[in-house]
Structure 1
């Protein structure tokens, strides 16, 4: 390289440029990842497909084998969190915890999931629960996914009693007794809705002409009224007044029903940003 070329190269380097940079700047990359179908990246890359997140959280309620298939491949999925509707957030371990699937919860923990106070209550770890409440008095009143109380999570732990050791059963029983004695670790004092009263709310409600523009009011597995998209499962409704409910313990989401002569004609859903009225059609 002669002196003139050397000075030119030095000047370009001072500007943060070099000959290789200038050369590549004039050529478009032809690199394509060979492992991708049709050379196309997944729609949500680099984020994980939301459908996979939803499946991990959903299956963590009942299907250990499928959870293992998904999480063994991607251990980070053990920390999956999903928003069902109206701000009802639930993690995979949260799902396993409120239905008492200690086997799924323990598997998820082994893969990196973050156990919560609700998980420890379900597992019967009394010392952890006591320590948390001592450190933060009143935390026992905080509800988990779907508005389910800390005490109800402990009761859920009895589901797999047949496969638990004597020590584990004792720990769970002591945890239930402790939370019961506190007097405020169960759900809020919502108004009970009798089976007969529930019937008048059941049905489909439409707010538009579209096929999916509506909601279904049904009964969930906990024998509570629930609200979901047309024909689909939904979250629990908790009664707080005359024909007035909140959704899954979310205080900012209110559902009111218009009733005339004891017949429901419509319902109105209100959250901080949206207010929508749906007519009962069936």
Structure 2
């Protein structure tokens, strides 16, 4: 192949790739969930298992969507279940592939896992959960005396941090 033909062929190939990549990106942009749907799903995650199942059946990939309440306060449905102490919704969402976090694990009473994380990464003790709720708050709503005592022994006294 001569140089001119190589350049022409290469340019057409790269151009076609860029157009395809741009179309794929555009399609992804068009397929973002409406924020009203995300907000409804996250809201249902707090206390409405039937609504969670209904929305999840219509939008199977919404399980890990987060709603932006502003000021860095992102919340998922499983996070909502976690900070209100709703085990049933949290466990259902986890069974559907929701990404768990330390706050939800705390509420669920996964004490050994939580303690290991805090011992390995002590700064996580002061991490902010949804709406600024602390690990101590999640232990309290989960009725988890052992973790409440553990967190307090580590110096955590606040139930909520300001956002």
TM-score, normalised by the number of residues in structure 1? 0.46
Specify whether residues 143 and 177 from structure 1 end up closer, same or farther in structure 2 by C-alpha distance, changes over 3 A only.
Answer: same
- SS of the residue corresponding to residue 90 of structure 1 reads strand
Equivalent of 2:56 in 56, 60, 71: 71
The equivalent of 2:148 in structure 1 is 176
Q: After superposition, give the CA deviation of every residue in 1:211-253 in whole Å (9 maximum; x if it has no partner).
A: xxxxxxxxxxxxxxxxxxxxxxxxxxxxxxxxxxxxx722xxx
Distance, in Å, in 1 between the alignment partners of 2:121 and 2:9 is 57
Equivalent of 1:57 in 23, 34, 42: 42
Residue 131 of structure 1: CA displacement?
Answer: 0.6
Distance, in Å, in 1 between the alignment partners of 2:157 and 2:62 is 30
Runs of 4+ in structure 1 off by over 4 angstroms are 14-17
Distance, in Å, in 1 between the alignment partners of 2:77 and 2:157 is 22
The equivalent of 2:120 in structure 1 is 135
Equivalent of 2:80 in 95, 101, 109: 95
The equivalent of 2:26 in structure 1 is none
Largest Rg, 1 or 2: 1
Gaps of 5+ in 1: 1-10, 18-43, 159-171, 189-247, 251-282
The equivalent of 1:84 in structure 2 is 69
Gaps of 5+ in 2: 13-28
The equivalent of 1:125 in structure 2 is 110
Distance, in Å, in 2 between the alignment partners of 1:88 and 1:131 is 26
Distance, in Å, in 1 between the alignment partners of 2:91 and 2:60 is 14
The equivalent of 2:99 in structure 1 is 114
Q: After superposition, give the CA deviation of every residue in 1:25-76 in whole Å (9 maximum; x if it has no partner).
A: xxxxxxxxxxxxxxxxxxx731122111111011111111100111133332
- The structure where strand makes up a greater share of residues is 1
Residue 141 of structure 1 contacts residue 187 of structure 1 at CA under 8 Å; is this kept in 2? no
Residue 185 of structure 1: CA displacement?
Answer: 5.4
- SS of the residue corresponding to residue 56 of structure 1 reads helix
Give the number of aligned pairs: 140
- SS of the residue corresponding to residue 178 of structure 1 reads helix
Q: CA RMSD in A?
A: 2.1
**What does 1:96-245 correspond to in 2, within 5 Å?**
96-158=81-143, 172-184=144-156, 186-187=158-159
Distance, in Å, in 1 between the alignment partners of 2:54 and 2:157 is 35
